[in-house]
Structure 1
Amino acid sequence: MVKVINDLKNFALKSKRVWLALKKPTRKEFES
């Protein structure tokens, strides 16, 4: 059971990192 919880935590962290990378505004959007 603990392993499942740890896997979910790791997955959430990875997803957040990917989400932030995707959402990072490009320079064009930033300047407009």
Structure 2
Amino acid sequence: MRCTIVLEFDNGDWSVVKRVEVMRLHRSIED
């Protein structure tokens, strides 16, 4: 699932920022 999200946001320089935001959201949900 994370890989899919990364691919969706892998569309520019801001993709790295979005990737971090998504990872933080997943961690918050998991916790």
TM-score (norm 1): 0.55
Structure possessing the higher relative contact order (Cα contacts under 8 Å, 6 or more residues apart): 2
Higher helix share: 1
State the 4+ residue runs in structure 1 displaced beyond 4 angstroms. Answer: none
Structure possessing the higher radius of gyration over alpha carbons: 1
Gaps of 5+ in 2: 1-12
TM-score (norm 2): 0.57
Output the aligned Cα RMSD. 0.6
